[in-house]
Amino acid sequence: MREIYIEDTRTGRTQPLKPRDAGRIGIYACGPTVYSRIHIGNARPFVLFILLKRFLEHEGYAVTLVINITDVNDKIYDAAHRSNPAHPRPSAELAAEMTALYKRDTDALGLGRPDHEPLASQTMNPIVEYIQTLIDRGHAYSVDGDVYFRVRSDSDYGSLSHRSLEHMDQGEDDEPHLPESRPPGSDTPAGSDTPAARKEDPLDFALWKARKEGEDTHWPAPWGEGRPGWHIECSAMAEQVLGVGFDIHGGGSDLVFPHHENEAAQTRAARGEELARIWMHNGMIQATGEKMAKSVGNIAPLHEVTERYGAEAVVMYLISGHYRQPLAFSPETMEQAQANVKRIREAARKLEPGETGDEHLRTFRDGFFAALANDFNTSAALAQLNEWLRGAGRLPGVGDGDLREMLGVLGLESLLEPSAQAPSEVVRLAEERMTVRSLRDYDAADRLRDEIAALGWEVRDVQGGFELMPL
């Protein structure tokens, strides 16, 4: 097998991928917290690790990809409460709806699904057992129904994020997120019910949160009813499927601290070994120069972007830069992705089916896979694919075999198909054009034809309706 290198966040080095189990690779990537529909930034790790799985399978590995769904979280309670403070929506109902929409929105990309998508709500017994192990080993303690991890009990804490203890803030010491949120029947005095007041050390973080007023989901545990903290959920879900010491743990770079740092600490404390061999983090999507986030209000919902520009353009955009680097999002970058998709589709139409059979073109195909083997550099791989297309355009009777192989790894094999399904926005414009034509408003019809063309599609009038063809 080809040697494959990936940059490890913990060591800061690009290192060879050495599977724990020969010929097999386990990947766990942190998925969304389902309190609203996902945006284009949430789609980046989904696409990255789905395509990494494709590449590793191309190289001969058996790959198990796990992307979890966090369906128990403060943000879900908050969103449910904001929907109607007097009569909040059941948080589990909101989480179930958003989970279904997350799957629908990512299905629309046409890349398939991970092998496992565990839910935090369905992993409670392993989570409780994990926390009890940490308590038994002296790495955690219970206070008034809450359980906290003793950060200073892990001598390697900070080794992933490369932060010193004095520069760490777990971000959980604010006032409670819901009104009247002390545990029912608690004797804790008013004013001392914040996490900071209960912790032995401000660095410690929550493993279990006691049931509070306004939270409508809770589970039994030896230290009292409640629900898990965010970090322990992922440690338990990852271990349930992949065991300890699996090959790659991934997610956005915004998760390095505290989330992934805390995951790693929990596993070292409970199991005596590292959770993962390599920590692989993607850069953020940026709009107007800052990270795209719901809290900032600069999000572009994935389903809207897909409907407007098409699934292939979304995938092309997300692989246009190196995964570790930030990626700018704007109408211009999406239009460029559409243009790249159109160029590949048009070039593919001129090829013959079958093996390529040209040694010079083979060098670009080999360069494509070499780029992916070097820290999964999709932008460098696309450059090699473009060189292949330029070379093929100068030769007669070139087979599409190499191109089919490359596009299959990138999730863009649909570009070789004779037709593609138009985005709903394009269909809407075509239907509107058909209506104005029936009213003999040909100027409006021409303007709509131009709008459709600007989105990468040609509308053709046929008996009884229209036909849409990608340009």
Per-residue tens of pLDDT for the chain, all 471 residues: 899 999 999 999 999 999 999 999 999 999 999 999 999 999 999 999 999 999 999 999 999 999 999 999 999 999 999 988 888 899 999 999 999 999 999 999 999 999 999 999 999 999 999 999 999 999 999 999 999 999 999 999 999 999 988 878 887 654 444 444 445 555 544 445 677 788 999 999 999 999 998 789 999 999 999 999 999 999 999 999 999 999 999 999 999 999 999 999 999 999 999 999 999 999 999 986 667 776 666 789 999 999 999 999 999 999 999 999 999 999 999 999 999 998 999 899 889 999 998 999 999 999 999 999 999 999 999 999 999 999 999 999 999 999 999 999 999 999 998 656 788 899 999 999 999 998 989 899 999 999 999 998 888 776 677 878 777
Residue pair 38/59 in contact (Cβ under 8 Å)? The answer is no
Can you tell me whether residue 436 is helix, strand or coil?
helix
H/E stretch holding 261 reads helix 261-271
Which pLDDT belongs to residue 456? 85
Secondary structure letter of residue 39 according to DSSP = B
Question: On the CB side of 206, how many CA atoms lie within 13 Å of its CA?
Answer: 23
The pairing of beta strand 246-252 with beta strand 24-29: parallel
Backbone angles phi, psi at 130, to 5 degrees: -60, -45
Confidence (pTM): 0.86
User: CA 168, CA 160: separation in Å to the nearest integer?
Assistant: 13
Pick the CATH number of 287-416 from 3.10.290.10, 2.40.240.10, 1.10.730.10, 3.20.20.60: 1.10.730.10
Q: Is 413 exposed, middle or buried (0-12, 13-18, 19+ CB in 10 A)?
A: middle
Residue written as token pair 């990936």: 6
C-alpha separations of 393 from 85, 109, 366, 416 in Å: 62, 29, 18, 15
User: What's domain 5-282's architecture?
Assistant: 3-Layer(aba) Sandwich (3.40)
User: CA 312, CA 81: separation in Å to the nearest integer?
Assistant: 37
Residue 343, strand partner residues: none
